[in-house]
Each structure stands twice: as C-alpha cells, then as structure tokens.
Amino acid sequence: MEKWLVQHAVGAFLVNENNEVERFEPNPKDIDQAVQEAMVIEGWTRGIKEGTEKVGGLSSAAKRLLENLKEEGFEGTIVFETEGESREASSMGFEVKVVPANDKAIYVRENVAELSVKYGMMESKEEFYDWLHKLTIEVVRRKLRSVAQKRDLLAVHAVRTIDDIDKIINLLIARLREWYSLHFPELDDLVKDHDLYARIVAEIGSRDAMTVERLKELGLKEDLAEKIAEAAKKSTGADLTETDLEQLQKLASIVEDLYSLRRELVDYISYIMKEVAPNVTALVGPVLGARLISLAGSLENLARMPASTIQVLGAEKALFRALRTGGKPPKHGIIFQYPDIHRSPKWQRGKIARALAAKLAIAARTDYFTGRDIGEKLKEELRARIDEIKRVYQKPPKREEKAERKAPPARKRGGRRPPRRKGGKRRGGGRRRK
Amino acid sequence: MALEVVNVYEHPHYPNVYIIELEDGSVRLATKNMVPGKRVYGEKLYQWEGEEYREWNIYRSKLAAALVKGIEELPIKPGDSLLYLGAATGTTPSHISDIIGPEGRLYGVEFAPRVMREFVTLAEERKNIFPILGDARKPREYRHLAEATDGLYADVAQPNQAEIVADNADFFLKDGGYMLMAIKARSVDVTKSPEEVFRREIEILKNRGFEILDIVHLDPFDKDHAMIYARFHRRSKQ
Ligand SMILES: C[S@@+](CC[C@H](N)C(=O)[O-])C[C@H]1O[C@@H](n2cnc3c(N)ncnc32)[C@H](O)[C@@H]1O
C-alpha cells in the first residue's frame, strides 16, 4: 500500500491513491512560528551560500502525522517529493519513495485553500490567502535580513551623518543669527527654532518684506507672524542692500537644505533598520537603534555584547573614569535617550536601563542570528517590567546608601568626582542632571 | 505639461487592458490601477470617469509589447492565479496584478535580493502579490509557499529557460493552464529562420507537454526577445 505525504506551509496532508486526503496536521497559524516551519521544509538556514544544495525536511506537523501513523502500525510505503523528507521518514522506520511533483501533490496544491478550510484551520479561503500573503512576505523579509550583507553599516553611516549635520547646522546657524542680526536683531529672540529661522531668512530675506501674509505662507502661526511683522517695522537694525542680503540668504537656504537632508536620513534609517534590525527598532525606535549599532560598530558586535555592556554603551569615558578613580560607574550610556529613562525620576533610571539593556541584548541577538520578528513580545515584556519598577520604586530611596560608601572627604556628593578644572565635557547619561 | 485624456476604452482583443486616447491623438496602453495614487516604476497615471489608469509602458514590459505586436490572446483574466518567474522589481507583475484584481494571486519568484527588496514592498501594497525569494531552477524549494496556478509567466533570462519553465509547470501549473514566456530571439521572423538555441527551446517545451499557440517577436520595442504563448497538458506522475 502506498500513501502520499504532501507538505505545505499550512500543514501536512496524507493522501491515498484515490486522491482523498486521509489526514491533515496543521502547522502553527502564528506567522512567526509558521515561518520557522516553512524554513525547515525548504531546508533554509542562515548564511546559506548561493548555489548550495539545500536539504529540505519535515515540518513539525509532518513529523506528528508520521508518528501517529507509526503508532497505529502503518505498513506500507510513503511517497514524498524530496530526498530530504524521505530520508527523515526512513530514519523513523518507514518505507519511502520520492516522486517530485506527483499527482497527489498537484491535487493538494490545487485545492490547498479549500482543504485548509475543510479541515478547520481557516475560516474561509480569504483567510487562507491573507495568511499566506503575510507568510510569504515574512519569509522573504527573514531571508533578506540574513543576506543583508553590511546593510547595518548603511544605517551606521546615516546616523553618523546626522550627528555631523547637527554640528554643521549649529555652526552655521550661530553665524547666520549673528550676521542677520545686523539687519533684524529682534528676530533672534522671537524665533528660537533654528529650522524656522533659516526658512524665514532664506525665503523672505529683507525685514521690509515681512508681512503677516508672507510669514503665514511659510507656516507660521498668526500671532507669531504678527509679532514678527510688528518688530520688523520698528527694528533697530541696519538697512541692507539686496546684494548684502543675497549672501546671507544663500547661507540660510543651505541650512534649510541640511534640515531637509536630516529628515530624509531619519526616514532612510527607519527603512534600513526595519529590514536589518526590526526587534531593536521595535524597542527603541530606528534612530536610537542605529546609534547603538553605530557605537557597537556593527549589528554583529551588538549581538555579541552582554546586556551590561549595552547598558553603558556610549558612556565609555564615564566608565573608564569610574574604574580609574573608584567612583560610581555610569548607569546608562546612549540609552539615556530612551524616553522612559530620561523622563523617570533619577532613582528609577538605573533599573529601567538594566531592564531595557537586557531586552536589547535579546533583540540584537534575534535580529542578527535568527532574523525572527519578536519585537512586539519584547516590547510588551519591557513595558510590564517598567510599570513594575515604577510601582515598586515609587518613592526615592532613603539616604542609607551614603553610609555604604566610604567616599573620600574631597567629594561633595556621594561618590561623585570633584568638578574637573578644565570643565571637560560629560558624555553619556549617568552624569546628566536636570 | 501633461496631456489631457480625451477617451478611455477597453482593448477590443484584450479584456481588462485599456486604451487611453490623449489630446494630441496618440494612444497608450494601460491597466486600471488597483492602488489608486501609487506609481510602481514612474509610469504615468491617468484619470477618467472616476477611475485611475496606469500607463503600461511597451518599452519596459515585454508583455505589453507582445500585446501591441498582436499576440493571439491575453489569457490572463480577473481572479486568475499565476506563477511568475523572474519578478524583478515588479514592472510587469504590477500590471498583471491590476488585471487579476483582488480575487487573483500572483506568486512572484525572484532570486536577486537587491531587486526583491523592492518587489516585497510592492507585495505589501498589493494583497494579490505573493513574493518568493527563491531560485526558479528549484521549484521544490518553494512548493510549500504557493499553490497550483492557472497560468505561468516566465522572464528569467536564463539560457535553459524552457527547462526551468517545464520543471515549474510540473510542480504548479494546472492541466490546461496557459504559459507565456519571453525568449531570446535575434531574428525577427522567428518561425522562418529560427536560431539553433531558439529551436531547441521550442523542442523542449513540446516534449514536456506544451502546445505552442503563438510566437510573436517584440521588435522594435525589444529587439532581442520574442514571446511564446502555449498551453500545458499535464502528464500523470504517480
Ligand atoms: C528581464 S528581468 C525580468 C523583468 C520582469 N519580468 C518585468 O517585465 O518586469 C529577469 C529577472 O529574472 C531574475 N532571475 C534570473 N534567473 C533567475 C532564477 N534562476 N530564479 C529566479 N529569478 C531569476 C533576474 O534576477 C532578473 O531580475
């Protein structure tokens, strides 16, 4: 007696010689798990080289189906479509045959939507196709992630470019404000937002042209536009000619362009990060995620770091200083930018940072090693942990920690170093104060 | 300045393909845009009587060129399922997606990650496009991700394409299903002075159960290719 075992991502079908499905075992409907099963059937493993012969295998559904069959004492031959499947089955003790694209397999593939409804796995054919659509997209995404050679470095360069742009903008805008203040000094105080300031100068230029309508066209609110127009009329600044203003306006429009490039880079980073590190992105967003990868050097480096290192990534200076002086180590590095850390009271920050770093370590490893998408789950777990911290540590701790540490008398407050003479910059969260 | 549309009507021979008449008297091929407002490859969008149409560029899509060259028929119809080999970034697949509509399915196989990155974005916008990152030479590696289909379209630019097509047909194409294949062919009169390679490819198709219905050369829109249209007769395999 012969029976045909046909595998599909939805599950395994056992078909008899009359084209009747005798059994069906479903694969998990959950997309993430279904992707895993699909990869097993295909014989796809991370980092597989192009042209390497893949050895497909049996999904967990197919294995279950065969085990049941074995227990019931089935004696006969099972026909498969691939060597990989048949080898596994023969090691389970079955007689096997391989006939690729056999009639029964075609029958299953012709009716797979109906069959998945008939066996109660799907409510309707529409549901099956929606599910398959999601599945195929997710399978592709997972494969792309793993062949994403160095695409993480694209995000790294983009985020470093953002930092460069910020420095350049700060430099240029300081110059622009000073220069334009010769003509319209009052604007400096009225418009604090650099992007907007540059736009007003670039688009309008002369303060005489600053009417309420014109300003509103640039997206300013009514009352601010009125204030500026008013101030322009009464300005104490010097009159400038068109030639004088032309150079200024060129500078201003370059600043504007830099802002727009910055926005584009943020979008670009989101696009790349979604592809190479969706789990890290789910936790901390694309830009902070890219900064972490940038500090680690690559996604691979980040994936190989223990959570404790991730926690202080970006605060290396503070860490080394602490090691050198025996002072307090930083509680957080760049992850200080995570809203739930910097917005929380100080005594909660270290705990939240530890919780976040632990999840980030899992996220980075998952992104790098398996490419699975478990972002939502990680996010929920982190949320729960943060809520717990906020509940349990609602009140600031008693001052008992003071006694614990034998701080040298020179230090003013618990464990902190006396201020540096040169007023060196303090980077990284741990030392920032409001 | 964009030209005004003066008339739009369905193609007399090819259902669900539209002809757009412009004010300067020129005409364009188009399909009804399934995702209004979205372009796929920079093609023009035209509005007419509350519908949006996407220009189907005959220099960019070999299938469009085959229609203009008068291929026997366009077998693709609403609700069809298709296996598409060599989906690339989805230029032709997007028009097939418009034609088969929300009830249809197009399984697009492509093995180059770089282009697949764009194709998968298209698939996210169009629920009738199912992307498969795989090698068309190994249909067994994606047999569990697709289904048996009404049609097969191939444009993989591989020297042994006929064999690839036949292997995929064995795995996926329904008995009586249609097949369209873009094939390299220098000489314009393909039937009279067929090149050796070309003849061998046709031979393989015939031996593997394909009944050739039509062959058109795509010159001048594509000087190097012809389109083969065939029907598949499945042979039993136990
Ligand atoms: C000429 S392009 C297809 C253009 C597309 N049909 C269109 O009209 O929009 C050929 C594509 O086939 C892909 N390709 C070539 N060999 C392949 C194979 N063995 N498996 C899958 N895709 C393949 C190439 O990567 C390329 O993107």
> Residue B135 C-alpha to ligand 1 middle, in angstroms?
10
Q: What Rg value do the Cα atoms of chain A yield, rounded?
A: 31
| Element containing residue B214 per DSSP (H, E) | strand B210-217
Cβ contact B36:B47 at 8 Å: no
Helices (H), A277-405: 278-284, 286-296, 299-303, 307-312, 316-325, 339-342, 346-365, 375-392, 401-404
The predicted pLDDT at position A320 comes to 79
The span from the first CA to the last CA of chain B, in angstroms, equals 62
Cα–Cα distance, A310 to A292 (Å, whole number) = 8
Q: Tell me how close the Cα of B188 comes to any Cα of chain A, in angstroms.
A: 35
B142 to A106: CB separation less than 8 angstroms, yes or no: no
Closest ligand 1 atom, residue B137 Cα: 19
What amino acid occupies position A338? Y
CB < 8 Å from B in window 321-360 of A: none
* DSSP single-letter state for residue A7: E
Q: Tell me how close the Cα of B83 comes to any Cα of chain A, in angstroms.
A: 13
The predicted pLDDT at position B192 comes to 63
On the CB side of A158, how many CA atoms lie within 13 Å of its CA? Answer: 24
Q: Identify the band that residue A47 occupies on the pLDDT scale cut at 50, 70 and 90.
A: low
The predicted pLDDT at position A419 comes to 43
Distances, alpha carbon B208 to alpha carbons B72, B180, B185, B190, B231, in Å: 22, 15, 21, 21, 11
Q: Identify the band that residue A430 occupies on the pLDDT scale cut at 50, 70 and 90.
A: very low
Task: Write the DSSP assignment of A54-107 as a string of letters.
Answer: P-----HHHHHHHHHHHHTT--SEEEESSHHHHHHHHHTT-EEEE-TT-HHHHH
The predicted pLDDT at position A48 comes to 58
Is pLDDT above 50 for A407?
no
Nearest CB to A38 within list B124, B139, B145: B145
Whose C-alpha lies nearest to ligand 1, atom 27?
Answer: B88
Higher pLDDT, B167 or A274: B167
> Residue A151 C-alpha to ligand 1 middle, in angstroms?
23
Q: Note the pTM of the prediction, 2 decimals.
A: 0.70
Selection from A375, A330, A363 nearest residue A349 by Cα: A330
Give mean pLDDT, residues B51-72.
97
Cβ contact A279:A375 at 8 Å: yes
Say if residue B102 is preceded by a cis peptide, omega within 30 of 0: no
CB < 8 Å from B in window 28-67 of A: 38, 41-44, 54, 56
Give mean pLDDT, residues A227-234.
94
Higher pLDDT, A344 or A149: A344
Q: What dihedral angle (degrees, nearest 10) is formed by the CA atoms of A288, A291, A292, A297? A: 160
Q: Identify the band that residue A148 occupies on the pLDDT scale cut at 50, 70 and 90.
A: low
The predicted pLDDT at position B212 comes to 96
Q: Identify the band that residue A399 occupies on the pLDDT scale cut at 50, 70 and 90.
A: low
> Residue B172 C-alpha to ligand 1 middle, in angstroms?
18
* Closest-approach residue (CA) in chain B for A112: B147
Q: Identify the band that residue A328 occupies on the pLDDT scale cut at 50, 70 and 90.
A: confident
The predicted pLDDT at position B196 comes to 81
Give mean pLDDT, residues B103-123.
94
A144 to B117: CB separation less than 8 angstroms, yes or no: yes
The predicted pLDDT at position A413 comes to 45
Selection from A432, A433, A429 nearest residue A334 by Cα: A429
- What does the mean pLDDT of chain A come to? 88
Planar angle of CA A144, A148, A150, nearest 5 degrees: 175
Closest ligand 1 atom, residue B89 Cα: 9
Is B232 annotated to bind ligand? Answer: no
Q: Tell me how close the Cα of B176 comes to any Cα of chain A, in angstroms.
A: 13
* DSSP single-letter state for residue A370: I
Selection from B89, B74, B18, B27 nearest residue B227 by Cα: B74
Selection from B60, B45, B40, B64 nearest residue B118 by Cα: B40
User: At which residue do the structure tokens 């895993």 appear?
Assistant: A36
The span from the first CA to the last CA of chain A, in angstroms, equals 79
Give mean pLDDT, residues A165-181.
96
Cα–Cα distance, A60 to B161 (Å, whole number) = 35
H and E: helices and strands count for chain B: 5, 12
B133 to A139: CB separation less than 8 angstroms, yes or no: yes
Cα–Cα distance, A21 to B50 (Å, whole number) = 47
Is B49 annotated to bind ligand? Answer: no
B127 to A130: CB separation less than 8 angstroms, yes or no: yes
How many A×B Cβ pairs under 8 Å? 94
A130 touches chain B (CB under 8 A): yes
Say if residue A419 is preceded by a cis peptide, omega within 30 of 0: no
Is B92 annotated to bind ligand? Answer: yes
Cα–Cα distance, B194 to A312 (Å, whole number) = 70
Range of weakest confidence among A19-28, A225-234, A405-414: A405-414
The predicted pLDDT at position A428 comes to 43
* Closest-approach residue (CA) in chain B for A4: B238
Per CB-CB distance under 8 Å, the chain A contacts of B172 are 109
Give mean pLDDT, residues A288-310.
94
Selection from A84, A93, A74, A69 nearest residue A7 by Cα: A84
Give mean pLDDT, residues A213-231.
93
Is pLDDT above 50 for A186?
yes
- Mean pLDDT comparison of A112-116, A145-149, A234-238, highest-scoring range: A112-116
Q: Identify the band that residue A403 occupies on the pLDDT scale cut at 50, 70 and 90.
A: very low
A144 to B133: CB separation less than 8 angstroms, yes or no: yes
The predicted pLDDT at position B2 comes to 75
Is pLDDT above 60 for A414?
no
Q: Identify the band that residue A433 occupies on the pLDDT scale cut at 50, 70 and 90.
A: very low
Ligand 1 pocket: which residues have CB below 6 Å? B 61-62, 86, 88, 91-92, 109-112, 115, 135-137, 155-158
Is pLDDT above 70 for A404?
no
Q: Tell me how close the Cα of B91 comes to any Cα of chain A, in angstroms.
A: 18
Cβ contact B106:B100 at 8 Å: yes
